[in-house]
Amino acid sequence: MEKNIDWGNLPFGYVECSKSFVANFKDGKWDEGTFTSDHTVTLSECAGVLQYAQTCFEGLKAYTTPAGKIVTFRPDLNASRMADSCRRLEMPVFPEDRFVQAVIDTVKANIDWVPPYGSGASLYIRPYMFGSNAVIGVKPADEYQFRIFVTPVGPYFKGGAKPIKIRISDLDRAAPHGTGDIKAGLNYAMSLHNIVDAHKCGYDENLYTDPASHTYIEETGGANIVFVTKDGKLVTPKSNSILPSVRRRSIVYVAKEYLKMEVEERKINKSELSDFAEAGLCGTAAVIAPVGEIDDHDKKIMIPSGMEKCGPVLQKLRSLLIGIQMGTEKAPDGWIVEIK
């Protein structure tokens, strides 16, 4: 059934769709899972997720291609990353093959909610898991729920590919040897006060440095960051407390294999920021969002690519990635999963 939605003007927000996927873990095993049109969750007031934040999540998208196909991008990597998150949080792993199939089936169950090609919108897919039974002592829950909901969304940054302004944060996103490399809800809770403050101060995001020395660049509150040197090299920060972004890993591959660029993954001292020609945030929601200005307290670092448009190298990478997703560029094997 065709939806009466202004697809071209969607915010990045939640719209209740037709069906959600639900599976429950009890007595040491997962049930078969089912679809529900009830989009509420009923829990004990003492549920593990409410008491000790035992929850993790993923995010990916489904798109309509110019050929009219509906596809999603590398869901196997989201399945693998969620498995890593679950192991770290002492949660049962939802089998990776079942994760991918559940994503496909959930999009199929909500196929009328996938925005049309050319609208700039997509169907955001949110798999997540949480401890569901009552836990009062500090320990892992015994029962868990794995769910997937979907929602049509517009661009994460309203300007699309227009450069954004970010600031170096005094606060930390993650602790040394902590949970920065998994997609735990608690990591994002830590960043909420800081992102609200950043927006009040006129910034789109916070750029976090390493929590041990506050010297090396790590990532922003919601995305990894990449840089391009003046001689055309792609550089990405290396750290054990950075989330392994599916998009960043894909950008690195495309840069190496499609554009034959030299790529470095290394520690990046914040003193180097003024030496880069381009900078951009990369994530499922943002694809690549160019950065035009980075403020380090009283010091303004203006990225040479400017505040008007994406730099040429990141624009080429962005176009290639979108082309791969949309089927206009040849995709590496296994990257694109066709749903319809």
- Three-class SS state of 162: coil
Helix (H, G, I), strand (E, B) or coil at 199: helix
Three-class SS state of 168: strand
Residue 85 C-beta-side C-alpha neighbours within 13 Å: 28
Of residues 283, 273, 288, the one with CA closest to residue 230: 273
Q: Are the beta carbons of 309 and 160 closer than 8 angstroms?
A: no
- Tokens (6 digits) for 52: 């000790």
Q: Can you tell me whether residue 293 is helix, strand or coil?
A: strand
Residues whose CB falls within 8 Å of the CB of residue 230, separated by 6 or more in sequence, listed in order: 275, 276, 277, 304
State the Cα–Cα distance between residues 211 and 192, nearest whole angstrom: 17
Distance CA 17, CA 153 (A): 12
Long-range interactions of 323-327: CB distance < 8 A, separation 24+: 324/254, 325/63, 325/65, 325/71, 325/73, 326/63, 326/65, 326/66, 326/117, 327/65, 327/66, 327/67, 327/69, 327/71
- Name the helix (H) or strand (E) containing 136: none
Identify whether the C-beta of residue 242 lies closer than 8 Å to the C-beta of residue 181: yes
What 3-state DSSP class applies to 127?
A: strand
DSSP state letters, 245-292: -HHHHHHHHHHHHTS---EEEE--BGGGGGGEEEEEEEETTTEEEEEE
Residues noted as catalytic = 183
